[in-house]
Every structure is written in structure tokens, then in C-alpha cells.
Structure 1
């Protein structure tokens, strides 16, 4: 089964695999968002995070390669009464337009190998406007012990050192590591080793 087929299958049912509520870290950063800003939500799946951004008054592009996920993102946006743009694309090979977005949201896209992740991170940096905001959350290495979601491969997980190396040239970078219980639909649940990034280009 290909990666696309796997995600198509995950997003095939009526239920939202990761729920319809936004990621808690993203929600906690809502005070940094401004109406009218342009936002890119990468690997946005069924749209819970992209729709939340739209509810804050942002002009949102929800990027994902699963047509099933994007159909559900549009359905969720319609149910919430907000506009959202969707684009079907592979986040690894997508042409991140230079200095196009005020905000980039990157929540749990750790299917990427280190080489693929480097391409995505380079794209994120390119597509953010000067002064643009990066909100990123993923799993740290301790997640392999918890086994409550995310990749089963150590090299796909984030460390503080990796993120500092990738985004250390930002004008500000706040990295926070902690353990917390999360409840995000059937896909993510239980005690988790999390790492959050709030960065300004």
C-alpha cells in the first residue's frame, strides 16, 4: 500500500480521525494571529487546524495530498461557516512560493524521512514572509516509549538540537519540550512526548 493509499484509507470514513477540534498547542497560540493574515497549514489532513485558522479570520490554504482528507476539510469549513482554500499536493515536493505567508502551521507531519523533512523545512523558511510566524508541533524521541501515535522510527522524531539547527537563523525561536496527555480523535491519544516551536522569521 502506498503512502497516499494509506492516508486515503485513514480518511475514508465519516469520522474525523484526529477529531474536529484544533490542536491544543495551535489553539494556545491564537493570540499571535491577526485577522486578514495569510496562513499555510501543511499536511492539514481533514482540516481541523486549517478551519480553526479560518475561524480566527485568516486567509487559509490547507495543503494535503489526500483527496478524502481535503473533502472532509471543506465539509468541516462549511459546517463552521468559514471559507478555506484547499490544494492537493505532496508537502515534500510542493513549490513553496517565496515570502507568501504570514503564518505557517506544521502540526504532526512526521511521516517524512530526514531528507524529506529537510526539503519541507527549507520550503517553510522560504514561504514565510519576513517577520512571519511558524507554529510547529511534533513528537520527541521519548514518544517511542509511549507508543500513543506518531512514527515508530527514531530518525523521524524531533529534538531541540535539530530544530535549533534548522530554524536558528530566525529572529526569535522558542522551543518547548514536555510530556502531556492529548486527546485528538482516534489517531492521537494518551501520554505523549511533545516538542513545540514558536518561531519568527
Structure 2
């Protein structure tokens, strides 16, 4: 898996001391706590060092945390141990990973914008497929306006999200929330400063 230069770069970034995006859950994800009642199993996509997967486990969910970086997953396991929860870490190259069918009540994708349009399309399809009927998709990313801020995220315009793009990508789901806004982020050194954000909460039909 580390033959992929992109994955090697991420592994090198995660090898730094401390947690690149901090140890606390993403603020958008934390605001969805009320939606997690009665949910059992969650998938944290490209979960990196585990801050979001660990938080989901703290809410009582059975969490599978997938990422392509062994270094990040080692740190995720240590974070879970310090917090007194368990998560299942699965090393996954998302260019080839097989998405399970109807396996999760929640799928969370927080700043997974390393993916260009082709891979993104496959990932979005896989994320929907992985949800059980009635399952929730929780997605946060950057909008094109983020390029002017330069406070984190991809530098390729094609990797950024717009409301229209997300509505089209998840047209078969019930959109519960789709919001564009600017906010100050303080998530480690990786996401720091005023940021152009977009949040999506969608439910797979029963």
C-alpha cells in the first residue's frame, strides 16, 4: 500500500510529533450528537489519527476507522486507549477498498478531499452503499472559496465541494441539512484559521 506516493506523503505527515488535526472531534460532527441516538455501528472514512472515530466510539457506537496510513492508525489506537474506548482500525487504500453493503448506521467523512472527481464519485457511491436503510451520512468539506483562505485542505479546485455537486451526488438520499458558511477552525496545525465550509447530513431511504 505504501507504494502509492500519495499514501506515503500522508504517512510522513502523520509521523510528526503530536496530532496533525488535533485530538478533539470535528465541530460539525460533534453537533450531530443528537442524531446518533439508537445508532449502533459507524464507519469513519479516511479517519487519519482517529479523532473522529474515537469520538463516535465515546458516543457508544461500534466504530470501524479506515485509513491508508499505518502511522496514523497506530496513533488512532493509542488515542482510543487513552480515552478508554475501542475502535476497529482497518488499513484501507480507498482507490481499491471494497465498500460493504448495508453495514453501517452512520458513515462519517470529514475533510476527505484528497480525492479528485473520479475517486470521489466512487467513494460517494460506496459510502451510500455502506449505509443501512435509514442510515446517516455525515460529511464536511471545504468550498472553492477555501483557496483564498489557504488555511487547510486541498489546493486543487476540482477537489472542493459545492452545494449543487453534493445534491447531485446524493440525489437518492434524503438531505436533512446542507449548509455553506465560513468559520474559524482550530484543529491542530492542519486546519487553522478562517475556513470556507460546507456540511451535509443525509439519510438513506428506508
TM-score between both structures, scaled by the size of structure 2: 0.95
1:82 to 82, 85, 92: 85
Q: Does the CA contact (< 8 Å) of 1:170 and 1:199 recur in 2? A: yes
Return the match for 1:96 from 94, 99, 106: 99
SS in 1 for 2:158: helix
Alignment partner for residue 164 of structure 1, among 151, 163, 167? 167
Distance (Å, rounded) in 2 between the aligned partners of 1:198 and 1:28: 11
Q: Which deviations, in whole Å up to 9, do the C-alpha atoms of 1:134-155 show, x marking residues without a partner? A: 0000000000100000011110
Q: Is the 8 A contact 1:35 1:57 kept in 2?
A: no
Give the Cα–Cα distance (whole angstroms) in 2 for the partners of residues 13 and 75 of structure 1: 15
Which residue of the partner structure matches residue 136 of structure 1?
139
Q: Paired residue for 1:181?
A: 184
- CA RMSD after TM alignment: 1.1
Which structure 1 residue ranges, 5 or more long, are not aligned? none
Distance in 1 (CA, whole Å) between partners of 2:202 and 2:115 is 21
Aligned pairs, number = 201
- Residues 50, 72 of structure 2: 8 Å contact kept: yes
Q: CA deviation at 1:168?
A: 1.8
Query: Cα deviations across residues 46-70 of structure 1 (Å, max 9, x unaligned)?
Result: 0000000000000000000100000
Contact 1:36 1:59 in 2 (8 A): no
> Is 1:40 equivalent to 2:43 in the alignment?
yes
Once the two structures are superposed, what CA deviation does each residue of 1:95-151 show, in whole Å capped at 9, x if it has no partner? 111000000000001011100000000100111011000000000000010000001
Normalising by the residue count of structure 1, what TM-score does the alignment of the two structures yield?
0.97
Q: Distance in 1 between matches of 2:129 and 2:94?
A: 14
Q: Secondary structure at the match of 1:53?
A: helix
Q: Secondary structure, in 3 states, of the residue corresponding to 1:62? A: strand
Q: Where do 4+ consecutive residues of structure 1 move more than 4 Å?
A: none
Match of 1:73 in 2: 76
Measure how far apart 1:88 and its partner are.
0.2
SS in 2 for 1:92: coil
Q: Is there any run of 5+ residues in structure 2 with no aligned partner, and where?
A: none
